[in-house]
Structure 1
Amino acid sequence: MPVKALYDYDFPSADRAELFGDDQLVYVHWEGNPMFCSAACFRVPKALGFGEFVETVVGPWAGSDPDFNPAAVHGWRVNGRPLGETGDTSLTELGIGHKALLQFTA
């Protein structure tokens, strides 16, 4: 339901990109997993390689589910579009920007 303000609401967002310097916020969603019903948000360096991001951020978070198998992770998408070959490419080079949504299945 939309909210109608009784006055002009003109305040800058508290999580806008320029406040994070060399970091950015990235949302990660494990699709189809009832334990993680919504995306989790992580503050990470823009220059972080995708492989390191998966190993150091996604792995520990998803590992809280006892059924998590890192080898079964597939179908990465960023903002709804398939993510191609990643290698050690940085998040920024892959088009993963501030407040982007990464989705995967496992």
Structure 2
Amino acid sequence: MTVKALYEYDYPAADRAELFGDDQIVYVHWIGNLLFCSAAAVRVPQGMPWGTFVTDVVHPWAATDPDFDPGTITGWTLGGEAFAPDDGTSLTDAGVGHKSLLKFTTAS
């Protein structure tokens, strides 16, 4: 829904990349999970390896659903495209930028 301001609106975004230093915001969405209705926003270092991101950030968040089993993750997407970086690749080198949306699915 678009909004039309009745006056000049010229305020910088509070979540712009330069305010986060070596960190960035990444959105993570578990597709098809009814407990999580939308993506979660996490603040992580840009240089964090993909494997560490998954095990230290995504798994603990997803484990708040008692039915989560890390072994059931079946695929990732980044920007709507299939995504499968090596565990040692940094988020930045894998193409995950500030405010990127990562989605994953699990086997039933």
Residue type of the alignment partner of 1:29: H
Q: Percent identity?
A: 59
Within-5 A mapping of 1:10-89: 10-89=10-89
CA distance in 1, matches of 2:2, 2:47: 37
5+ unaligned residues in a row in structure 2: which ranges? none
Residue type of the alignment partner of 1:19: L
| Residue pair 2:30, 2:104 contacting (<8 A) in 1 also | yes
What is the aligned residue count?
Answer: 106
5+ unaligned residues in a row in structure 1: which ranges? none
TM-score (norm 1): 0.96
CA distance in 2, matches of 1:29, 1:50: 16
| Residue pair 2:52, 2:87 contacting (<8 A) in 1 also | no
1:97 Cα offset (Å): 0.1
Residue type of the alignment partner of 2:94: L
1:88 Cα offset (Å): 1.2
CA distance in 1, matches of 2:78, 2:14: 23
1:41 Cα offset (Å): 0.2
CA distance in 1, matches of 2:56, 2:50: 10
